[in-house]
Chain A
Amino acid sequence: MLYRSALRASRAFTPRLALSHSRLVSSLVFLEHKAGKLSEASLSAVTAAKTLGNDTHGLLVGTKSEIENALDRAKEIKGLSKIYLARSDSYSHSLAEALASLLASIVSAKDVSHIFAAHTAVGKNVFPRLAGLLDSSLIADIIALESSGDTFTRPIYAGNAVLTIKSSPKDSVKIVTVRSTAFDKAPVATGSAVIEDVDIITVDTPTQFVSEELTVSSRPDLASAARVVSGGRALKSKESFDTILNPLADSLGAAVGASRAAVDAGYADNSLQVGQTGKVVAPELYVAIGISGAIQHLAGMKESKMIIAINKDPDAPIFQVADVGLVADLFESVPQLVKEIGNVKV
């Protein structure tokens, strides 16, 4: 119940927050990590925050050892003048109940005008709860923002329309999640952030972590990979999904993705799903194999720089967005492509 007092404090700060260029006001970026490994998506959130031109601070939350692991790299992030640390065993596994209460208290105690996170599974879980605690809007999945700090652009209808909104002063703190593929990653090299511990808020949370089961992969992480090779239902089985796609992904140094149809059919794990309900990617190269190109899938990949499609059906919608399309049987053409790529590289 400690956040109640934090809430009152945040209301008291409102008049000062209205002066958005006051030097006291800062932006805060939630630096996500997994067991102490910093999330690359958070670096894009830093770049979004820097658009506002005011002091930008980072926040690391986790167990003591996790923070120890994440801090070396976090300190090097260019553009952060300060990094707050909240170290406690009660923050393991990023449970929304514990984290949102902590964030609510920091936002008011540190006079934060904007709080940013990457629009990842963690950001999407914690930030709505934070918005509920602070009785504020959530501005989700932004692809652009203006330096005034109150105008944001975000995709709606699975990316089939683009909405620009202006936030009202009633939302004294702007709570924002950032589409990481829409912003460059902040460089990690020359940072010089000051480190400061913040008070720990312990909430009697009704929810406990039980277990987790992560998909092990030696390939690049799908969300941040520069190249992605994706397969659809036309791959026909889990065996052929792997035997056809993996050599191509390996020859290109690419991550493997999948359409929802391939995931639902059991050919690929659901963590590989690209689309509105899965991951949104924007790699340099996206190779769509046996994917028809439904609206939901296109929403997850049409920002890719170069799209290549291989499909048997010349009328598949994927060819309308592909830079290069090949109408062919994937079971013949993909192995051939792997061979040709091998020849080029020799």
Chain B
Amino acid sequence: MRPTLPSLINILVPVKRSIDYAVKIRVASDGKSVDTNVKHSMNPFDEIAVEEAIRQRDKSGEKVESITALSIGPPKAVDTIRTALAMGADTGIHITTPENTIVEPLSVAHAIKAIIERSEKEGKKFDLVLMGKQAIDDDTGATGGMLAGMLGWGQGSFASKVVIEKGGRIEVTREIDGGLEVVESKIPMVITTDLRLNEPRYASLPNIMKAKKKKIETLKPEDLGLDFTPRLETISVTEPPKRQGGGKVETVQELVAKMKEAGVL
């Protein structure tokens, strides 16, 4: 057991393996999914979350006891955990699912909650969950808030600055419509990362090698009593309506003429 509550913080960082942000996605021939036979990488907002966990440790070494990366997904999601370990996370947990299954945000939130509760039974208390504000594949942006609600923890969404203070409090600067807002919460807390929180590091080759020796625990949903059956049934996935480029003009005068024609001037 730890001597005082705030002195040693354990951070859990959920990371998602998603289609690489630079890939131009294509709707699959079944009309119900997208072609996933393309390059995948760690969801960019989750990279920011891993980076932030590591920076918090660098800044206040004595405060951060451990950083655990968690991913839920097919066998290849283990690569995403390895990336987090190569960046500086200590250990990984992988909840495996069959290839091409959709795990909805609600199921993910339940799974993260189950991991937190299981750890607590084993004597390890997670004080902070740091995760991306949304995954760039389904664009829902729900998991962090759902988890905070389920646990009754404070939440700091869309964080652009995180300060772990003495006395077990965390100050979070949040990006809101029209500017910034600062909130403060006592730990435990869920924080979701926005783009401007930090710039994630690249894993160096020696660190990638070292990461191969770090421990990753593999679990099945059943091991935690979880059921990932989706509640939302996919009816269709379609291409968005194509926009037709209208061609180019040579001069500012021609541009103005086009604007007049369209009735915007």
Contact = CB atoms under 8 A, between A and B. Distances in A.
Interface of A: 34, 93, 95-97, 100, 120-122, 124-133, 135-141, 151, 154-168, 170-171, 205-215, 223, 227, 252, 260, 263-264, 269-271, 276-277, 279, 284-285, 295-296, 302, 306, 308, 310, 314, 319-328, 333, 336-337, 340-341, 344-345
B104 to A, nearest CB: 7
A165 B234 contact: yes
A100 to B, nearest CB: 6
Given A133-B150, A138-B140, A322-B246, 4 more contacts: A120-B177, A161-B25, A166-B233, A340-B253
Interface string B240-251: 100101111111
Contacts of B248: 314, 319, 324-327
A223 B200 CA distance: 29
B188 to A, nearest CB: 8
B139 A155 contact: yes
Given A156-B139, A319-B248, A325-B245, A206 B234 contact: no
A170 B139 CA distance: 22
A125 B154 contact: no
Contact of A157 (B136, B171, B180, B250): B136
A206 to B, nearest CB: 4
Contacts of B142: 127-128, 131, 138, 140
Given A34-B178, A125-B145, A165 B184 contact: no
Contacts of B154: 97, 205-207
Dominant secondary structure at the B interface: mixed
Nearest to B107: A137
17 contacts: A95-B183, A127-B145, A158-B139, A164-B234, A167-B233, A168-B233, A207-B154, A207-B183, A210-B182, A212-B176, A252-B264, A263-B196, A271-B179, A277-B194, A323-B246, A324-B249, A341-B256
Nearest to B153: A206
Contact of B255 (A137, A166, A296, A308): A308
B64 interface: no
Contacts of A34: 178
A128 B147 CA distance: 9
B232 A157 contact: no
Chain B interface bracket (under 10, 10 to 19, 20 to 34, 35 or more): 35 or more
A211 to B, nearest CB: 5
A276 B139 contact: yes
A276 B243 contact: no
A337 B255 contact: yes
B58 interface: no
A209 B181 contact: yes
Contact of A168 (B140, B160, B231, B250): B231
Nearest to A251: B265
B69 to A, nearest CB: 22
